[in-house]
Each structure stands twice: as structure tokens, then as C-alpha cells.
A and B are shown apart, each in its own frame.
Chain A
Amino acid sequence: MKTSGGRLATAAALGVGLVLVAFLLWPLADGVRGAFVDANGRATFAYMAAVFRNPLYREGFANAVELALCSTLIAAVVGTTAAVLLGRYELPGRRLFAALVPLPLMVPPFVGAVGIKQILGNEGALNALLLRMGVLHDPIDWLRNGRFAVVVGLTALHLYPIVYFNVQAALGGLNVELEEAAASLGCHGWRRFRKITLPLLGPSLFAATSIVFIWGLTELGVPLMCDYTRVTSVQIFSGLKDIGRNPFVFGLVVVVLVATVASYAAARFIVGRARPPGATKGGRVRPRTPLGPLPALGAALVLAAVIGAAAAPNLGVVLSAFARDWYGTVLPSGLTLDHVRAAIGHDMVVPSIGNSLRYVTLSTAFDLVLGTAIGWLVVRTRTRLAPALDAAAMLPLAVPGLVMAFGYLSISREGHALAFLNPVRDPTALLVIAYGVRRLPFIVRSAAAGLTQISVALEEAAASLGASAHRVFARVTLPLLAPHLLAGGIFAFALSMLEVSDSLILAQRQATYPITKAIFELYALLGDGHQVAAALGLWAMLFLAAAIGFARTVLGRRDGGLFKL
């Protein structure tokens, strides 16, 4: 329901639009203009046409769509199931399971692949266990055999927490009276979930699956780790690394961008933007239902299998950080603190931690302000710019990090209007903007989903009692929106902390390195570099876990139990 409009909305839309044009569309256009300019500087569409004529590119894109669809479907089922089980039922180990859910989003860059190879590799822990048990006689090449299915499975397990958190926040906001009314009319169990609960979860599920789909469409890390090359994201990455000029790679980026906007628009059209009837956030919360011993055990086993499998890279990183040698055995054959000492004692590491905290805190604050504004414009106003802003805010999910990073570098060169942001002198401003823009979709989707669930009647009631618009927002809307902003903010914070491309390109002097570039530096050391990098990765995971735990504890109290775990 649209309640606001007028000058405030127009002014806000113009302000937000200006920020997006300056820090998203301009660097993006700069990054992909190679697709439309020939060697003599003349405009051309021939490169784009050549992209469509290339059978390998067409096949890669079809595979990308298939990968995105399959992994989104699995992530939606797994994430929703986990959120419902942990949010609605009393189970053994419930708190532990809930605490482990975010782990897949905390896998540090570079060493995450090493971690998973230590578990699933030829000489990894799983094969060693199966060989020792006599189940196998020769190791299985898990990451290579059945490659597409493996890529889909790993991508889904990497992304299901996005669905989990959004559904969990939505469950906390559902009005239990609707489900009770259905029950009183004889609608129970699965039917009630399908007919009542699931439609009420619609906006949050849509928000999550749209992010997961676009992420799956552009997922790079998992296909690269499994050496699955015939997919658009890997084709783009490979093209960007070509020695010579390759304009087609920018054409591919444009194709992915268009596909992203189109799929997002189509999803919105199909799902519809109407707020589901009766989704009155702020009502009574349903207490958890105790399960019988057998169903509880079954549910706990399912959760343990899924959450454990998804946390395999984290486990691999943790053990690598302490392993003297880990090869062909279930657990490391020797433990050492050398890697941890080398990592946290390195001259570069402490400054990089301070830098990352500064960049990421500021970028998350930037995201919260901008994302909430876009969410408000989309859900609560009739401004014509809203759909465009909404779609534009999703673009960062589809743009390869390297393209954006070089775009930022280009617009901040000496002689340009944004030269004062030149990262050679101090990359803080540009990194804050770069991190913020790249993680904006999380906050926008979270804010929009939250605002959709908050009944306008509550805001109208406050206004009718004489509260100003500002007071209504601060005392009614914001507290109800807080769980959603927290969920989105956690994603934005964690993923910015682990952001790679912008960090590598924009932080040029060692004194300005963020932690991801420090991990990359250590990772590149020969010999024990990977273990030393894993040790720093372990620190990053611990920090993120502690920060998320702290945020949940503090905000969980303030929001009156709506965001309890």
C-alpha cells in the first residue's frame, strides 16, 4: 500500500538516483564501454552481435541459467525448511544449529577453496574416512565427477543462509492469529503451511530467492573450484585475465546485466508487489512447538547433515590453520601453532584489520541509509523513479568485481571530477563506496521485505494520534524494520569484510590494505602460504561470528523478541 508521495519522495528519489548514477552506473558504464567501442574509437554493436553468434558463450549462458535455477530451488527448500524447523519447533541442538547457519557466508576468500579440497579432495578427509572404513578401495574425485550436480549442490549450500535469514525474519513477524484461525477451521499441518504460512512468507522468500538466483547466475568461486569452465561467470573471469584486448568479455557482462534486470522484473511481475493480505507485523508471535522424540531426532539429523555439509569449507579452513600436515588422513596428522603465529604476527596484518573495520563499518552505514531509502521509496511511495531505482540497486549482484573495480579506478583518476577520491592517496572513501554499492542489494531487499510486512495501519494510527512523520518512522517503522535491516546489515557487513576485487585493485599501498588483501598476500607465499592465509581466514571467521553474535544479542533484546534465535 502506498501512503506517501509528494515532494519528500521526489527529493529522496532524486538524491538516491544521483548517488546511484555517480557510484554505480558511471563506473559500470566506464567498465563495459569496451563492448561498444572499436579499436579506432568508433561506436559499434558488432562485438555484442559476435557474443550472440558464439556457440560457447550461448552454451555458457544456458548453463549459468540452469545452475542459478537449480541452486535457487535447492537453497529455497533448504533455507525455508531450516528456518521453519528452527523458528517454529523445539529441537535438540536448536541453538547450536542456528548459530552454525551463517558459516557458509563467512568463508574467507582464496582459502575457502583450499578448505573444501581438504575435505572433499582426492586425498581429503572424506575419502580417507571411506577408505579406512573399507567402503572404498580407490578415492573418489568428488569435486570433478558429476561436475554440474556438484556445482549446483555447493552453490546452494553456500547461499541457503540468505533464504534462511529472510524467512526467519518473516516468520518472526507473522501474525499467529491467521494460522490459528485456519487451524480452527480444520486446516492443519502441511496444508496450513502451504495455504497460509507460505503465502505470508512470500515477500521475504521473493527477496531472498531473487538475490540467490542472481548470485547463482554470476557465481564464480564454486565453478572455478570445480574447474567447471563452460559457464558465463568463468568465461568472463577468464576473458578479463586475457593478455590481449578482449571486448567480448564486456559484451558478456552486458548480457548478464540485462538478464539480471529482466529476470528481476519478470519475478516481480509474476509474484506481484501486492502485500499479502493479513500480514500484520507487530502482532502476536507463535511460541515454538515441542516435537515428539522421533520427529525431533529426525529433524535434528536432517539439519545436522545439511548445516554440516554447508560448513565443510569452514571446517577445512580451521583445521588447515592448525595442520602441520593434512594429506590422506581424516584429521591432520600433526598440529602446530606456527601458521597462526606467522599470520597474526605479520607486520601487515594488524593495520589491515584496523583498515577493514573502518572501511566495512562505514560502508554498512552507507548501505543502511541508502538501502532503507530505496526500500521506502519502492514500498511506500508512488514516485515513478522507484522501479528504476529498485532494479538498479540489484545490478551490483550481476557485475563482476574486477569490472567495477577498474571502473572506480577510472572515474577517480587525476583530471576527472571525482579525482579527490583517488585511491593512491587514501582509498578509504572509494573503498567505502565500492563495498557499499556492491552489497546494497542485501539492504534494499531486506528493507523492502520488512516494509511490505509492516502494516500501514500502525503508522496511520501513530500519525492520527499526532505523531510527526519523523516520529512515526523513528518510533513505529524503524523498530519493526530493525530485524530486517539487521539481517541485511549482517550480510552486507560480512560480505564486505570478505570482498576481494575492490580490495585488490583499489587498496594500492600496503598501509591501506584491508584484511582480504592481506589474506591474498599470505596466500601467495610459497610453502606454507596457504596455511598461514587459512590462519588469518580463521581469525576473520571468528571476528565475524563474534560481531554477528553481539549484534544479535543487542538488537534481539531491543526488538522485543521478534529476532530471537
Chain B
Amino acid sequence: MRRALPSAAALVLVLAVPFVARSTRDKPAAPRGTETLVILTPHNESIRFEFGRAFREHMARLGRDVEIDWRWPGGTAEITRYLSSEFGASFQRHWTRDLGRPWSAAVAAGLSRTTPLPAAGGDVGDQARRAFLASDVSSGVDLLFGGGSSEFIKHARAGRLVDAGLVAGHPELFGPGGVPQTRGGETYWDRDGRWFGTSLSTFGVCYNRDVLDRLGMSEPPASWESLAAPALRGQLALADPTKSGSVGKAFETIIQNEMNEALVRARAAGERDPAALDRAATRDGWAAAVRLIRRIGANARYFTDSGAKIPLDVAMGEAAAGMCIDFFGRVQGDYAASVGRPGRVGFETARGETSLDADPIALLRGAPHRELAVRFIEFVLSEEGQKLWAFRRGAPGGPTTYTLRRMPILPRLYDPVFAPLRADPDEDPYEETGAFAYHAAWTGQLFSAIALVVRTMCLDPDAELARAWEALVRAGFPPQARARFDDVSLVDYDTVAGPLRAALQAADPLEEARWTVRLVEHHRALYREVTALAREGR
């Protein structure tokens, strides 16, 4: 046994280190609450820590001992699957045991419908859905906290979210001077009270100054157009619009921006007919936007589902620039500056070209601790809770451990009196987006179609697109090859808003797959043709 002693000692030592380190810490262990609130969230530990701590303290002042049971299964996709699975199982029990009806595939299919119900009657699927909406079946979770507003709209349509009863009771929040219901075409809270934005975020560009210098780019990219610069090929980190509603929204914003510019050009050309102006925006603007997205996609190093990967890769020099959520870019830039050369990593909001998306909270159907859950929503929307998003660590009323650097949704927090306490005193989302006008009628119904276009044009044929772009740049953009590269006729506005949108609305995966294969194969053939033409100098 003597021979085993050194390895046994090493094992004991390694095991003991964390236990010893923990025992020497001053910080007391978190109290065990007598009341528990269950929250499902994609938010990271820093947000969970600050809101959990502050809410416990808030409730302690009211004489209640509360503990939060955070559930964190990963990102948006995992949360959606989790809720769908849990509500499905819970409703199956309700349907078979409480209502005494037989379970079938048609019942399960009815539950997943999101189309409006007929006033009465309908098939067994409609009956199941009506029973679900009238029920109090539970996922075992009280609140959903965090994610893009588009995800909350989908959950609300699916009937998973319920009215928290706050809209009428809080005029200071939802009345004049409070949080606007819509702004710049974006919805900040649900009129039916099923979800409420708690903070705002926007997409911008984070960049690595060293890599840009090496590529010969003197100015950092600060607009969507600048991301299409040929110098950035293979050096651009992009987010995947098929994985996140927020990213999908960012791509829609690029399109809306080009449409607005086409509208301005048409007006400048003397056009006054509203129908002609609308046509100029939706046809010319759309085509310009799709071409721009194609060129941006051609520069892509990857399209990721992880928002945090992009600023990290940019900070490490793995990419020159990337599309990035504002607070990710700012925090990573600050960190890089704190440990290395200041200015190495920067972040720019695409000013005037981007919209502000709300990051909501919602009460889930059948919440086991409804009263406590509503109190948490009220706390997050209160001035006390909103300070946690914006204030510097250690500022009075602010976070104690992590500076979150997010934009609170409550306009009062942008009052100059709070400026010295805020981590980003110059940021005011309620002043900035005036230049960007969102026209819901142009693209509001095309959300899924836009994601499919980006996927079939840029993500799936990524290798062929990158080769075509490289050949074009090397050949100096010969006219015939460039004309073919700019050909977006198969994904023009009429096609996308017409048959493609109709196919996606039919919710038939096979029809969607047929479109996907058709568009991908078209683009791969197109990019191969461009490569051949460019190499021939034509």
C-alpha cells in the first residue's frame, strides 16, 4: 500500500482545495427561504445573482423569507422545448384524469396550434386547445425571465403565458410617462398583460483594432454596410437568425434600413405617389438589403447560436469584427481594456440603423406561487429593480457584485439625476432611435421568411459563397461575375412575401424543406457560376 500513498495524497489534496477555500471565506451561505419562487431563465449568473439577492432583501424588509429556485436549461431553444414538454405532459394529465377524455395524437397536435380558435365547436384538436386555455395546468415554474420579445410573443400565442393583472393596477408603469407600449415599431409590453419588457438591448458591431489594422482598415466598422467590406472576408463573426428571435430582428432591421433609404431616394427623385413610393421601398430597398446581407454573409467566419462567443472571439483576435448585443460588447471591451491595451476591443451601435428590443418577463400558466411571482415582476419593473440593470457595482441601490451594463426599460432611470450612478451615463435609448423608422407593413409578417432567406443564401451554402466572394475580390469584380453575384431575383420581395411566406404559414415542414432545398441549390449553383466567371475574368 505504501506505493499508493503519494497518489492517494495527491487525490485527497486536490479534493480538499475547494472545500478549504470555501471554509475560509467570509461570505455566509445563502439563507434557506421559507417561500420559494421558481424562475426559468436564459440569463447568466451575474443577473440571477443580483436580482435574486436584491429581491430576497426586498422581501425580507416586508417580513418574508424568500428563496429563488433558478432553472437554467441553456438558451432559447432549450427553454422552448422544456416548456413545450412540461405543459404537454401536464395537460395530458388534466385531459385524461380531470376531464376523463381519451388522449390521442390529434389532441396533442391541437395543443401545439397557435392559430385563432373558432368561436365554438371545431375538431378535437380545437377542443383540446380550448380546454388548455381555460385550464390552470402548470409547468411547475412560476416565471419566464429573459429572452427576446419575439419568443415571448410566441409563448403568449401558445397560451403558456397568462395575464399577471398589472397593466390596470400600475398606471405609473404603463400609463403616460411610463414604459411606452410600442416604440419604433417594437412592442415593449403586451396589451393583454401577459409579458412585460424589463430592459432594452440592441445589436451593434464589436471589433478588434489590431486585426483591423492588419487588414488595412483604418476606421472601425460602425454600420451594416461597413461589414460588407471585402477586407473583412473570413474575419466576420455573425449570429444565426434561425436560432434567436433577437438576431432575426437584427436582420429585419438591416432590411428595414435599406427600405427606408430607398424610400428617401425615391422621394428625392420627385416621386410623390404613395403606391410608387411603397413599391420603391419594398422592391428596390428589399433587393439592396438582400445584396447587402449576401455580401456581409460572404465575409462571415461563422454564424453562431451563442451571443457570447462573438465578442470573445473578437477580443481574442479570432475575428476582426462581429455582430454583437450591446452589453456583451461593452463588458468584453471593458474587460479587455482592464487586462490589456485600452482600445484593443471596441463596440459601436449601428446608429440610426438599429431598433431596440425589449427583454421581457412573464407569468406562466398555472404558476405554483402566483402571488410571489407577481411581486417579483413588480420588483423588476420598479425603480429599485431597474437600478440593478444600469447602476455601477457598489453605487447606492445598484448591484453589489456585478455591473450588468444593461439599459433599463423605465424612462425615469435616464433622468440626469441618475447619470453619475449609471455605468453608461451617455446611453439613452429613448433619445437615440429617432432616425430609425420601423414599418411593420413592409416586413412584419416576413420574420420566418427572412430567416429562411438568410439561411439558404448565406449559412447553408457558406463554402460556395465564400469561394465566390474570394474569386470576385481577387479578380477585381469583373462585370459579368458581379452582375450574377448581385442577382437576387429568386428571393425578391414578391416571391418572399408571396409564395414563400404562404408556404411557411402552412406550417408544413415538408413544404418548407422543398423551399429550403430549392433555394440552397439555386444559391450553390449561382455561387459556383460566379466563381467560374470571376476566375475567367469575365
Determine the chain B residues whose CB is within 8 A of the CB of A353 once the complex forms: 15, 18
Cβ of A122 under 8 Å from chain B: yes
Cβ of B81 under 8 Å from chain A: yes
CA of A424 to CA of B459, assembled, Å: 37
A117/B93 in contact, CB under 8 A:
no
Q: A41-B106, A242-B243 are in contact. Are A525 and B46 (CB under 8 A)?
A: yes
A47/B510 in contact, CB under 8 A:
yes
Cβ of B299 under 8 Å from chain A: no
Closest-CB distance, A401 to chain B (whole angstroms): 12
Determine the chain B residues whose CB is within 8 A of the CB of A528 once the complex forms: 335, 339
Cβ of B199 under 8 Å from chain A: no
Q: A327-B317, A547-B11 are in contact. Are A526 and B78 (CB under 8 A)?
A: no
Cβ of B71 under 8 Å from chain A: yes
CA of A330 to CA of B442, assembled, Å: 52
A243/B22 in contact, CB under 8 A:
no
Interface size class of chain A, counting residues whose CB lies under 8 Å from the partner chain:
35 or more
Cβ of A410 under 8 Å from chain B: yes
Contact with A along B455-466 (1 / 0, CB 8 A): 000011011000
Closest-CB distance, A122 to chain B (whole angstroms): 5
A526/B73 in contact, CB under 8 A:
no
A546/B109 in contact, CB under 8 A:
no
B517/A328 in contact, CB under 8 A:
no
Cβ of B80 under 8 Å from chain A: yes
Q: A47-B510, A138-B214, A328-B317 are in contact. Are A37 and B105 (CB under 8 A)?
A: yes
A550/B73 in contact, CB under 8 A:
no
Q: A341-B21, A509-B69 are in contact. Are A39 and B509 (CB under 8 A)?
A: yes
Cβ of A108 under 8 Å from chain B: no
Chain B residue at minimum C-beta to C-beta distance from A524:
B44
B316/A50 in contact, CB under 8 A:
no
CA of A326 to CA of B140, assembled, Å: 44
Closest-CB distance, A220 to chain B (whole angstroms): 13
Cβ of B507 under 8 Å from chain A: yes
B517/A55 in contact, CB under 8 A:
yes
Cβ of A247 under 8 Å from chain B: yes
Q: A47-B509, A325-B340 are in contact. Are A406 and B85 (CB under 8 A)?
A: yes
B463/A546 in contact, CB under 8 A:
no
Determine the chain A residues whose CB is within 8 A of the CB of B508 once the complex forms: 39
Determine the chain B residues whose CB is within 8 A of the CB of A424 once the complex forms: 140
CB within 8 Å of B: which A510-547 residues: 510, 521-522, 524-530, 539, 542-543, 546-547
CA of A542 to CA of B7, assembled, Å: 12
CA of A42 to CA of B108, assembled, Å: 11
Cβ of A553 under 8 Å from chain B: yes
CA of A299 to CA of B155, assembled, Å: 62
Contact with B along A225-246 (1 / 0, CB 8 A): 0010110000000101111111
A40/B109 in contact, CB under 8 A:
yes
B18/A241 in contact, CB under 8 A:
no
A144/B312 in contact, CB under 8 A:
no
Stretch at the interface among A83-91, A343-351, A442-450, A475-483: A343-351
Cβ of A414 under 8 Å from chain B: yes
A521/B45 in contact, CB under 8 A:
yes
CB within 8 Å of A: which B1-16 residues: 3-4, 7-8, 10-11, 13-15
CA of A6 to CA of B139, assembled, Å: 49
Contact with A along B333-355 (1 / 0, CB 8 A): 01100011000100000000000
Partner of A243 from the list B77, B211, B308 (CB cut-off 8 Å) is B77
CB within 8 Å of A: which B117-133 residues: 125
Closest-CB distance, B159 to chain A (whole angstroms): 17
Cβ of A189 under 8 Å from chain B: no
Q: A144-B234, A327-B317 are in contact. Are A39 and B19 (CB under 8 A)?
A: no
CA of A250 to CA of B69, assembled, Å: 32
Determine the chain A residues whose CB is within 8 A of the CB of B521 once the complex forms: 55
A344/B17 in contact, CB under 8 A:
yes
B331/A526 in contact, CB under 8 A:
yes
CA of A445 to CA of B78, assembled, Å: 33
CB within 8 Å of B: which A55-69 residues: 55-56
B85/A328 in contact, CB under 8 A:
no
Partner of A504 from the list B73, B85, B92, B335 (CB cut-off 8 Å) is B73
Contact with B along A352-372 (1 / 0, CB 8 A): 010000000000000000000
Determine the chain A residues whose CB is within 8 A of the CB of B125 once the complex forms: 40
Cβ of A460 under 8 Å from chain B: no
Determine the chain B residues whose CB is within 8 A of the CB of A553 once the complex forms: 3-4, 7-8
Contact with B along A35-48 (1 / 0, CB 8 A): 00101111000110
CA of A329 to CA of B17, assembled, Å: 30
Chain A residue at minimum C-beta to C-beta distance from B328:
A526
Cβ of B513 under 8 Å from chain A: yes
Determine the chain B residues whose CB is within 8 A of the CB of A141 once the complex forms: 234
Determine the chain B residues whose CB is within 8 A of the CB of A376 once the complex forms: none
Closest-CB distance, A313 to chain B (whole angstroms): 15
CA of A306 to CA of B30, assembled, Å: 47
Q: A50-B513, A353-B18 are in contact. Are A243 and B4 (CB under 8 A)?
A: no
Determine the chain A residues whose CB is within 8 A of the CB of B25 once the complex forms: 345
Cβ of B526 under 8 Å from chain A: no
B302/A227 in contact, CB under 8 A:
yes
CB within 8 Å of A: which B95-126 residues: 104-109, 112, 125
Cβ of B318 under 8 Å from chain A: yes
CB within 8 Å of A: which B209-223 residues: 210-211, 214
CA of A413 to CA of B210, assembled, Å: 52
- Interface pairs A-B: 3 shortest CB-CB: A41-B105, A123-B317, A527-B335
**Other A-B pairs beyond A242-B242, A243-B245, A243-B248, 6, CB < 8 Å:** A55-B517, A114-B312, A123-B318, A350-B19, A542-B14, A546-B14
5 contacts between A and B (CB under 8 A): A41-B106, A53-B517, A117-B318, A238-B305, A324-B339
